[in-house]
Amino acid sequence: MMDKPLKGVRVIDLCVVWAGPFATMLLADLGAEVIKPENPFVFQPMTRGAMARPPAAFLQAAVAWNGGLPGNVPGERPWNYNPTFVSLYRNKKSFTVDLRQPEGMDILRRLVAVSDVVYENNATGTVEKLGITYEWLRSIREDIVFVRVPAYGSTGPYHDARALGVHLEAVMGHTLLRGYEDADASTTTAIYSGDYLAGAQGAFAVMAALRYRERTGKGQLIEVAQAENASPMFTQAIMDYSMNRRVQTALGNRDVHGRYPCGVYPAKSPGTALAQEDHWVAIHVEDDAGWAPFVEALGSPAWGADPRFATNAGREAQCRELDALIAAATAEHEDYALMTKLQAAGIAAAPVLEASRLFDDPHLRARDFFRMQTVEGAGTKEYVGPLWKFPESPVEYYQGPATFGEHNEYVYREVLDVGDEEYAALVTAGHVARGYDPSVP
Amino acid sequence: MPNHRAGAAARLTTQLTGEPMQALDDLVVLDLTHHIVGPYATKLMADLGADVIQVERPGGDVARRLGPFQGDDPHIEKSGLFFFLNTNKRSVVLDLRRESGRDALALLARRADLVVENFAPGTLDRLGLGWKFFQEIKPELPLVSISNFGQDGPYRDYRLTEVVLYGFGGEMYSMGLTDREPVKMAGTAACFESGAATAPALMAAIMTSRQSGQGQHVDVALAETQAGGVDRRHATAIAYQFSGRKTLRTAGAGTGMPQGIYPCADGYVDFTNAGIRPDRVLDMLSYPDWATDPRYQEPTARFNAALIEEWNGNFLVWCLERTKREVWAEARRAKVMCGPLFTMEDLFEDEHFRGRGFWTRASHAVMGEVELPGRPFQMSEGGWQLRRPAPLLGEHTEEVLQEAGASGALIAGVLEEGAQK
């Protein structure tokens, strides 16, 4: 076995919400020691949940990924088992410190001195208020790598605009480019694909900066302006405007490269959409050669021989009519059976899986994709697995999502070498805690 | 330790041109990928200085045949998609089914720090160019294989495109309206996500090789990069395990005043989750009488559908009296979360992004000068540079093979084979 690639790299995680924590999770998966300082007196919204102590009514009203706590009750420490939090904090360490107090900032200073990377994605101005700047970090550790993830960048008219991923994706054009082609933009569902890009590319940026440091001895400041960073996802639309001054619009499930049919079609369903028991199959016939095998796999319906559908140009011109015909045929099939049939004919197809069905997928099972993990308040359950398979330096779930203050002893005693007297004083002053102060709602 | 000759050459080039050193400019990547995912991951490395040798089959990368095309001319040197994905790379055409193609590949592998490929699983092995081939040439060379569903398992040979990838692995099921079909993201957004997720794996493969002196064969399955991704999929799976709750397909999410997307004078504005700060919303609206009604300030107001509808009636009027930029300016002033729905024209002309240097220009032998998004992120040291536009098909075959020490006969053979489609 090889060592994990980022073994020996220490990252301070001053992140909130999704984009930053996804980056530090990837770094932790690759072996970095990611330490998250948390404040017992300040709740960071959308990180360990929407609020520290959500009322049951709030949990019910919230979407499942935010409100679906174990057993649907808030329990004693809801901040330790919010689903979104749990999905992003494996392999990380949590310790508590009140950075609003001078002795808290002194603790952070001592941690910076023994760290390699500081990563933050707070609203513009937030960490400055605490006195955390690149200059300050450099004065403590000359070769520190400091990553900042402002929504629109630290300069320009939008530098202080408040945004989640969904807002900046609207600005980058995503909201008008996605959704049904025949319905207005208010029918789109809020998404956070920009957080995916910023997280993955932020982790990559850290690895590149560490390599630069290894070669030169120099640290640096990295700015991941999230809006700019998300733009590659819309390359086809951006380049079409740049080259041709054409404004692309939403295409629904159609192929941006114009290969038909391409869509999501109904399958036999055990229940209704309202019960989340509706089944669908995504199908894409990529070229003319695929058309005949596709029709045959569907049981050779009469319309399959219609010469208007024999060429891509014809299928594109009649795409609405064709989609309706295909839908009538697919509705007779079970989704998995249809995938098998179509894939045997060389056609790209798969069920559109409601999340719980992932766990029943035979391929993911055969690939040993899932991982067991024990989470406080939730018992031991199965989780979606890591993003990549490294045979010699495996990415594993070494540790469950860090509970609040779980690593206080480790960070204060082992990393910072805090003595008994100082530790007792920090406890007395409220820095060291295993939960949010009762004053935090 | 890996062979650093090629890296030294790259450094020398940067010294000669007077450009500052880039973080990855001592790395050579042998890039056997095509389409979107692999090329996007290697583009990120090329943009930070890596010498990415893009091996194309005779006829070229399939992305050369995908639009948009400049002037809608489906020419293999006019694809805007290919152009964006392959900046800073060099193109070598090799026919890997023929002997000279394989000999050339072996020479290139000797100089490489990493090999990346995304052929259908088993393809390289059938050609005798799989993991063993590279191990015999250079034991410390890592190989990253990107594929639809992974290198093993029952779906190993299954096909996949954007809609299938996002449907199977991503959060598509809960996207759209309850009484309609699930709907995907724009364009090939999921492929770009998976490409971005592959980039750290490429770096990790190089790092473990340097640390241990031994390469490894990394398996990246697109379906798994989606299933484990941050955009709700992993969390919706956990929510089910915890609570038995599934995620309903519905437009918008949550409740509040405001919440979701509203029309305005010239388009739409998105106020998702803006209602969590009612104090700021009041400031944004400049405290009109209708909005200061104490009934709206009750903590339970955000769960009261009738009250929200009443509030929305007034808020809609406020939005419709303003353009999307005016609404956003008021929201920014009051620090309310908001985003106007920009068209590509809005984005392209926008002064913020122009002023920040988001756009760059590249000069291309066939397309002329083309504007495109530049840096993925800004590094104060060793960061993004546009050193060259996307390569013409086979533009660097001769140059790269000469650098690798290929004989004149081999180069002639490769050029002849590469010219055949």
Sequential DSSP letters for A317-331: HTHHHHHHHHHHHHT
Confidence of residue B253 (pLDDT cuts 50, 70, 90): low
**CB pair distance less than 8 Å for A177 and B68:** no
As a whole number of angstroms, the distance between CA A25 and CA A89 comes to 6
On the CB side of B309, CA atoms within 13 Å amount to 3
- For residue B251, the model assigns a pLDDT of 86
Q: How far apart (Å, rounded) are the C-alpha atoms in residues B268 and B16? A: 51
pLDDT of residue B6 exceeding 70: no
Q: What is the pLDDT of residues B170-227, one digit of tens each?
A: 999 999 999 999 999 999 999 999 999 999 999 999 999 999 999 999 999 999 999 9
b vs e for B192-222, b when ≥16 Cβ sit within 10 Å of the residue's Cβ?
bbbbbbbbbbbbbbbbbbbebeebbbbbbbb
Same domain, B94 and B202: yes
Nearest Cα residue in chain B from A393: B208
pLDDT at B5 over 90: no
Interface contact flag, B167 A231, Cβ < 8 Å = no
Instruction: For A334, list phi and psi in degrees, rounded to 5.
Output: -75, 145
Closest Cα to residue A382, out of B354, B243, B238?
B238
For the segment B412-421, the average pLDDT, to the nearest whole number, is 86
Phi, psi at B377, each rounded to 5°: -160, 165
pLDDT for B89 equals 98
**How far is A39 from chain B, CA to nearest CA, in Å?**
21
Q: Smallest Cβ distance to B164: which of A273, A276, A348?
A: A348
Cβ count within 10 A of residue B94: 25
Same-domain pairing of B195 and B90: yes
Q: What integer pLDDT is reported at residue B19 of this predicted model?
A: 61
| Structure letter (DSSP) for residue A389 | B
Label residue B304 by pLDDT band (50, 70, 90).
Answer: confident
Mean pLDDT of A2-30: 97
Q: How far apart are CA A183 and CA A187, in angstroms?
A: 7
Closest-CA residue of A relative to B45 is A208
A347: nearest CA partner in chain B: B159
When mean pLDDT is compared across A50-64, A203-217, A240-254, the lowest value belongs to A50-64
Q: How far is A139 from chain B (nearest CA, A)?
A: 17
Q: B343 contacts in A (CB within 8 Å)?
A: 173, 176, 247
How far is B412 from chain A, CA to nearest CA, in Å? 34
Decide if pLDDT at B149 tops 70: yes
- Please list every residue in chain A whose beta carbon sits closer than 8 Å to the beta carbon of residue B357: none
Start-to-end Cα distance in chain B:
38
In a domain, B367, yes or no: no
Shared-domain flag, residues B212 and B147? yes
Name the packing angle between helices A193-216 and A19-29 (round to 10°): 50
Q: Nearest 5°: phi and psi at A415? A: -80, -45
| Nearest CB neighbour to B344, from listed A173, A276, A339 | A173
> Looking at A10-160, which runs of residues are DSSP E strands?
10-14, 33-38, 92-96, 117-120, 145-148
Task: Mention every residue, 6+ apart, whose C-beta is less than 8 A from residue A275.
Answer: none
HSE-CB at B316 with a 13 A cutoff on CA atoms is 11
ipTM score for this prediction: 0.98
Can you name the residues that pair with A220 across neighbouring β-strands? Answer: A145
H or E stretch covering A296 = helix A291-297
Whether residue A203 contacts residue A26, with contact meaning beta carbons closer than 8 Å, is answered with yes
Tell me, yes or no, whether B195 and B123 share the same domain. Answer: yes
Answer yes or no: is B243 within a domain. Answer: no
Chain B residues close to A155, C-beta within 8 Å: 355-356
Topology (CATH) of A267-362:
formyl-coa transferase, domain 3 (3.30.1540)
In a domain, residue B254? The reply is no
Question: Which residues belong to CATH 3.30.1540 in chain A?
Answer: 267-362
β-strand pairing of B339-340 with B267-270? antiparallel
Same domain, B266 and B126: no
DSSP H/E element including A422? helix A420-428
Q: Which of A9, A137, A228 to mutate to test the interface with B (most CBs of B within 10 A)?
A: A228
Could B243 and A69 be called an inter-chain contact, meaning their C-beta atoms sit closer than 8 Å?
A: yes
Q: Which of A184-193, B278-287, B405-414 has the lowest mean pLDDT?
A: A184-193
pLDDT of residue B405: 97
Q: Per this entry, what is the length of chain B?
A: 421
Please indicate, yes or no, whether residues B56 and B196 belong to a single structural domain of this protein.
yes
Q: What is the pLDDT of residue B303?
A: 79
* Region(s) of chain A under CATH 3.40.50.10540: 10-232+370-428
Rounded Cα gap, residues A120 and A13, in angstroms: 7
- d(CA B97, CA B87) in angstroms, rounded, equals 27
Query: Cα separation of A332 and A269, whole Å?
Result: 10
Q: Does the structure show a pLDDT above 80 at B16? A: no
Residue B66 domain-assigned (yes or no): yes
Q: Which domain holds residue B275?
A: 261-347
* Residues in CB range of A333: below 8 A, 6 or more apart: A267, A268, A281, A341
In angstroms, how far is CA A334 from the centroid of its own chain? Answer: 30
Identify which of A88, A220, A387 has the shortest CB distance to residue B224: A387
Q: Among B347, B372, B389, which residue terminates a domain?
A: B347
Same domain, B63 and B198: yes
pLDDT digits (tens, 9 = 90+) for B344-380: 999 999 999 999 999 999 999 999 999 999 999 999 9
In this structure, are residues B137 and B200 in contact, taking their beta carbons and an 8 Å threshold? no
Q: Answer yes or no: are the C-beta atoms of A162 and A197 closer than 8 Å.
A: no
CB contacts of A185 in chain B (<8 Å) are 261, 268, 341
Task: From residue A67, give the alpha-carbon distance in Å to each of B170, B234, B304.
Answer: 20, 14, 18
Q: What is the pLDDT of residue B86?
A: 98
In a domain, B223, yes or no: yes
Closest residue, chain A, to B301 (C-alpha)? A58
A197/B196 Cβ within 8 A: yes
Please provide the average confidence, as pLDDT, over all residues in chain B: 94
Partner residues linked to B29 by β-bridges: B52, B114
Mark yes or no for CB contact A186/B261 under 8 Å: yes
**Interatomic CA distance for residues A335 and A31, integer angstroms:** 39
Last residue of a domain, one of B347, B369, B389: B347
Whether residue B226 sits in one domain with residue B167: yes
Do B46 and B109 sit in the same domain of this protein? Answer: yes
Task: Report how far residue B265's alpha carbon sits from residue A21's, in angstroms, rounded to the nearest whole number.
Answer: 37
Q: Domain check: are B72 and B221 in the same one?
A: yes
CATH of the domain at B397: 3.40.50.10540
Tell me the pLDDT tens digit for each residue of B183-192. 999 999 999 9
A87 contacts in chain B (CB < 8 Å): 230, 234-235, 238
- Cβ–Cβ below 8 Å for A71 and B216: no
CATH number at residue B297: 3.30.1540
Q: How confident is the model at residue B419 (pLDDT cuts 50, 70, 90)?
A: confident
pLDDT at B7 exceeding the cut of 50: no
Residue B219 lies in a domain: yes
pLDDT, residue B305, reads: 87
Query: What percent of chain A is modeled with pLDDT above 70?
Result: 100
Q: How many CB pairs under 8 A join A and B?
A: 574
Dihedral sign for Cα A295, A299, A304, A305, please: positive
Residue B354 lies in a domain: no
Residue B326, judged by CB atoms within 10 A of its CB (0-12, 13-18, 19+), counts as: middle
In chain A, the N- to C-terminal Cα span, in Å, equals 47
Instruction: Report pLDDT for B8.
Output: 41
Chain A residues closer than 8 Å to B26 by CB: 215
CB A188 within 8 A of CB A160: no
Give percent of chain B above pLDDT 90. Answer: 90
Which of A180, A390, A396, A397 is the mutation pick for testing B, counting most B CBs within 10 A? Answer: A390
Out of A213-222, B5-14, B318-327, B402-411, pick the least confident: B5-14
In CATH, which superfamily holds the domain spanning A10-232+370-428? Crotonobetainyl-coa:carnitine coa-transferase; domain 1 (3.40.50.10540)
Nearest Cβ partner for B379 among A58, A64, A209: A209
Match 């805090």 to its residue by tokens: A418
| Burial (Cβ within 10 Å: 0-12, 13-18, ≥19) of residue B98 | middle
Residue-level pLDDT at B4:
39
What integer pLDDT is reported at residue B316 of this predicted model? 97
**Residue B334 in this model has a pLDDT that exceeds 80:** yes
Query: Whole-angstrom Cα distance, residue A398 to residue B219?
Result: 20
| Cβ partners under 8 Å of residue A432, min gap 6 | A96, A405, A408, A412, A423, A426
Residue B307 CB burial class (10 angstroms; 0-12, 13-18, ≥19): middle
Q: How many domains is chain B built from?
A: 2
Q: Strand order of the sheet with strand B28-32?
A: B89-93, B51-56, B28-32, B114-117, B143-147, B217-221
Is the domain of B285 the same as that of B187? no
Q: Could you say which of B157, B276, B344 has the minimum Cβ distance to residue A248?
A: B344
Sign of the four-CA dihedral A326, A332, A338, A344: negative
Looking at B300, B328, B347, the residue that finishes a domain is B347
pLDDT interval class at B1 (50, 70, 90): very low
Put the strands of the sheet holding B261-264 in their side by side order.
B261-264, B267-270, B339-340
What pLDDT was estimated at residue A273? 97
pLDDT level of residue B20 (50, 70, 90 thresholds): confident
Chain A residues within an 8 Å CB radius of B231:
18, 165, 191-193, 195-196
pTM above 0.90, yes or no: yes
Q: A288 and A359 in contact (C-beta within 8 Å)?
A: no
Residue B402 lies in a domain: yes
Distance from CA of B279 to the nearest CA of A (A): 15
- Nearest-by-Cβ selection for A252 from B162, B183, B336: B183
SS3 letters for chain B? CCCCHHHHHHHHHHHHHCCCCCCCCCCEEEEECCCCHHHHHHHHHHHCCCEEEEEECCCCCHHHHCCCEHHHCCCCCCEHHHHHHCCCEEEEECCCCCHHHHHHHHHHHHHCCEEEECCCCCHHHHCCCCHHHHHHHCCCCCEEEEECCCCCCCCCCCCCCHHHHHHHHCCHHHCCCCCCCCCCCCCCHHHHHHHHHHHHHHHHHHHHHHHHCCCCEEEEEHHHHHHCCCCCHHHHHHHHHHHCCCCCCCCCCCCCCCCCEEEECCEEEECCCHHHCHHHHHHHCCCCHHHHCHHHHCHHHHHCHHHHHHHHHHHHHHHHCCCHHHHHHHHHHCCCCCEECCCHHHHHHCHHHHHHCCEEEEEECCCEEEEEECCCCEECCCCCCCCCCCCCCCCCHHHHHHHCCCCHHHHHHHHHHHCCC
Cα-to-chain-centroid distance, residue B414: 32
CB atoms within 10 A of CB A60: 12
**Facing B230 at nearest CB: one of A61, A192, A385:** A192
Minimal C-alpha gap between A214 and chain B (Å)? 10
Tokens 């206080």 label which residue? A408
Q: Per the CB < 8 Å rule, is A171 touching B355? A: no
Domain identity same for B266 and B224: no
User: Nearest 5°: phi and psi at A95?
Assistant: -135, 155
